[in-house]
Amino acid sequence: MASKVQGLTSIGRKVIMALTGFFLMFFLLQHLSINMMSVVSAELFNEVSHFMGTNPIVQGLLQPILIFSVVFHFVWGMYLEYQNNQAREIKYAMYKGSANASWMSRNMIISGLAVLAFLALHFYDFWIPEMNVKYIQGDMSGMLSGTEEYRYYEELVHKFKGQPIRVVLYIISFVMLSLHLLHGFQSSFQSVGYNSTKYTPIIKIAGNIFAIAIPAGFVLVALVHFLSH
Amino acid sequence: MDNMNLTLKIWRQKNAQDKGKMTDYNVTGISEHMSFLEMMDVLNEQLINSGDEPVAFDHDCREGICGSCSMFINGEAHGPVKGTTTCQLHMRSFSDGDTIYIEPFRAKAFPVIKDLIVDRSAFDRIQHAGGYISINTSGNTQDANATPIPKENADLAMDAAMCIGCGACVATCKNSSAMLFVGAKVSQYALLPQGQVESKMRAQNMVAQMDAEGFGNCTNTGACMVECPKGIDLSNIARLNRELLSGSLT
Ligand code: HEM
Ligand code: SF4
Ligand code: FES
C-alpha cells in the first residue's frame, strides 16, 4: 500500500492539541501549588516565586514550552473550529445537540475563548510587569524597591485587596476553565489513542475531580487575599 | 392509534444545483404501527394523487441492515429512538398532531442529490483507500480456524464490523466528522491477524482520504456513538488514533 499522506493529518493535529492541553494542565497544577503557598506563608511563597522567576531551566526551557503550548493550543483550537464549521455548509433547521452530547463538549470554543480573555488580563496584570522588571529594567533581585523584602507576595495581595471587580472576573474565568476541563481532561486521553474499559471510567472521574478542584483552588486563593487584608 | 394527523416540514431540493427549502405538508390516516418510511410512502401517495412530485428518499432493506435509509428527524439522525435506523423507527414514537422536521443528512462531504437523498460515496472512497485486506484467492484457502484469534479480539472485531456505513455519525456530529465510521472500518482489520499485512499504512491512507473528502475534525463529543444504530463504540476512534500514530511514528 502506497502512502497518501501529505503533512499532518487531522488526527496528527488533534494529538498536538491534546499534548499542549496536557502540558497546560500540568502547568495549572504547578501554578496552583505555588499560589496555595501564599495562603500558608508569605515567606515560602516569596522564596518559591523567586526561584521560579530566576531559575534558568524554568525561564529558559519551561516558559518557552508554555508559551508555545498556549499559542498553539488557542490558534489551532480556533482554526479547528473554523474548519469544522466549513464541514457543514447548510445548517440543520432543527438540531438537538443536547440529545447526544454534553454542553461542555459542544462549546469548547466558548469556554476556551473565555479562558483566553482571562489570559490576556492575566498577562497584563502579572506577566508583562514581571518581564519588564526582570528583563527590561534588568532587576533580577526580586526585591520590593527600597526595601530588603521580596516583592512577590505584596504584588499578589495588591491585585486582590479591595478589588471586587477583578475578583468577580477571576471567578467567572475559572468557572469557564472548569467547564473547559470537564470535557478536555478525558478528551485528551482519547485523542492520544488511550481508551480502555478498565481505566477510562477512572480517567473520567479523575478528570471531573481535577476540573473542579483546580479552578476552585485558584478561586480560593483570590478570595482569601480579597477578604483577609 | 390508527388515524394520526401530522404536520411535516420536509427539505425539498430538485437536484444538486437547486437551492432547496423546507416545505410544509399535512399527512393523515397514519397508523402508529407504521414504520417511518411507510409514513413517507403514504405521504408520497397523497402527493402523487394530487399531481405533486413525491419526496425522494433512500431505502432498500427496510430492516436495519443495509444502511441506506437516512433522514435527520426532529434534530436527530434516524429520529428520536436510539439504536435504530429510520426504517426501524415506528410512528408510535410520535403523537397525533405532532410537527416533524425531516431533513437530509448534512455535511459538505455528503452533498444532496435530491430532496432527502445524499451522496455518501465519500465513504466508498475512504474504504478504497485502505479498507481491505490482501489475500490469496487462488483456491487453496486455508481453514479459517487454523489461525488462532483471542476471543476478546474476535468479539471486538465483530462489533466493529457491525457498522453499516449509514453516515448517521457524520450527520449527528457537530463537526461532521467521519471518525466513528473510519474507526470501525480500521478496527475490524486491526484486531485480526489477517489485517496486519497493510496495517502500517491503512489508518494513514484512510485518514488522508477522509481529510480530502472534507469531513470535520473529531472533538470527542461522543454524539456519534449515541446516535449510531449499531452501537459502534468510541473506543474504535481511540484505536484509529493509535493505529495512525503507531503507523506514522514507526
Ligand atoms: C489553561 C488553559 C487551557 C487548558 C488547560 C486547556 C486544556 C484543553 C484540553 C485538555 C483539551 C482537550 C484536547 C483534546 O481533546 O485532545 C482542550 C481542547 C480545546 N481547547 Fe483548550 N485549554 C486551555 C486554554 C484554551 C484556550 C485559551 C482556548 C482558546 C480558544 C482553547 C480552545 C480549545 C478548543 C477549541 C478545544 C477543543 C478542540 C478539540 O477538542 O479538538 N483552550 N483544551
Ligand atoms: S459508525 Fe454507526 S453511525 Fe457511523 S456509519 Fe457506521 S453504523 Fe452508521
Ligand atoms: S432501509 Fe436498510 S437500514 Fe433502513
Residue A173 in any domain: the answer is: yes
Number of independent structural domains in chain A? 1
* B214 shares contact with chain A (CB less than 8 Å): yes
Atom of ligand 3 nearest to the CA of B86: 4
Q: Does the ipTM exceed 0.90?
A: yes
Give residue A90's pLDDT.
96
Phi then psi dihedrals of residue A108, to 5 deg = -60, -30
| Closest listed residue to residue B199, CA positions, set B138, B244, B148 | B244
CATH number at residue A106: 1.20.1300
> Are B124 and B185 spatial neighbours (Cβ–Cβ below 8 Å)?
no
Which segments within B70-135 are labelled E, that is strand?
Answer: 72-73, 76-77, 99-103, 112-114, 117-118
Contact call for A89 and B108, based on CB within 8 A? yes
Last residue of a domain, one of B78, B113, B148: B113
Same domain, B104 and B130: no
Determine the distance in angstroms separating the CA of B4 from the nearest CA of chain A, rounded to an integer.
22
Rounded to whole angstroms, the Cα distance separating A151 from B89 reads 68
* B83 shares contact with chain A (CB less than 8 Å): no
pTM: 0.94
Determine the distance in angstroms separating the CA of B174 from the nearest CA of chain A, rounded to an integer.
8
CATH number at residue B59: 3.10.20.30
Same domain, B125 and B235: yes
Give residue A1's pLDDT.
65
Work out the angle between the directed axes of helices B199-212 and B235-249 (0-180°, nearest 10): 110
Give residue A3's pLDDT.
72
Number of independent structural domains in chain B? 2
Nearest CB to B242: which of A9, A12, A193? A193
Same domain, B108 and B180: no
| Closest listed residue to residue A83, CA positions, set B13, B199, B211, B105 | B211
Determine the distance in angstroms separating the CA of A191 from the nearest CA of chain B, rounded to an integer.
7
> What residue of B is the nearest CA neighbor of A182?
B221
Minimum CA distance residue for ligand 2 atom 1 = B181
Same domain, B231 and B136: yes
Same domain, B10 and B125: no
Strands B99-103 vs B21-30: parallel, antiparallel or unpaired: unpaired
Residue A93 in any domain: the answer is: no
Contact call for A4 and B109, based on CB within 8 A? no
> Are B202 and B189 spatial neighbours (Cβ–Cβ below 8 Å)?
yes
Contact call for A106 and B237, based on CB within 8 A? no
Rounded to whole angstroms, the Cα distance separating A90 from B219 reads 20
* B195 shares contact with chain A (CB less than 8 Å): no
Same domain, B135 and B64: no
Query: Which residues of chain A are within 8 Å of residue B122 when distances are taken between CB atoms?
Result: none
Averaged pLDDT in 10-residue chunks for chain B of 250 residues: 93 97 96 97 97 97 97 98 97 97 98 98 97 83 84 96 98 98 97 91 96 96 98 97 90
Rounded to whole angstroms, the Cα distance separating B122 from B172 reads 17
Domain of residue A64, residue span:
2-86+99-226
B127 alpha carbon – ligand 2 mean position (Å): 14
Rounded to whole angstroms, the Cα distance separating A2 from A212 reads 47
> How many residue pairs bridge chain A and chain B with CB atoms within 8 Å of each other?
153
Same domain, B89 and B184: no
Domain of residue B65, residue span:
4-113
pLDDT tens per residue across all 229 residues of chain A: 667 666 789 999 999 999 999 999 999 999 999 999 999 999 999 999 999 989 999 999 999 999 999 999 999 999 999 999 999 999 999 999 999 999 999 999 999 999 999 999 888 888 888 888 888 888 888 888 777 788 899 888 988 888 899 999 999 999 999 999 999 999 999 999 999 999 999 999 999 999 999 999 999 999 999 998 7
Rounded to whole angstroms, the Cα distance separating B147 from B125 reads 30
- For residue A65, the number of C-alpha atoms closer than 13 Å in the C-beta half-sphere is 15
Rounded to whole angstroms, the Cα distance separating A20 from B247 reads 22
Which single residue is written with the C-alpha cell 475578583?
A167
Check residue A193 and give left, alpha or beta (phi > 0: left; psi -120 to 50: alpha).
left
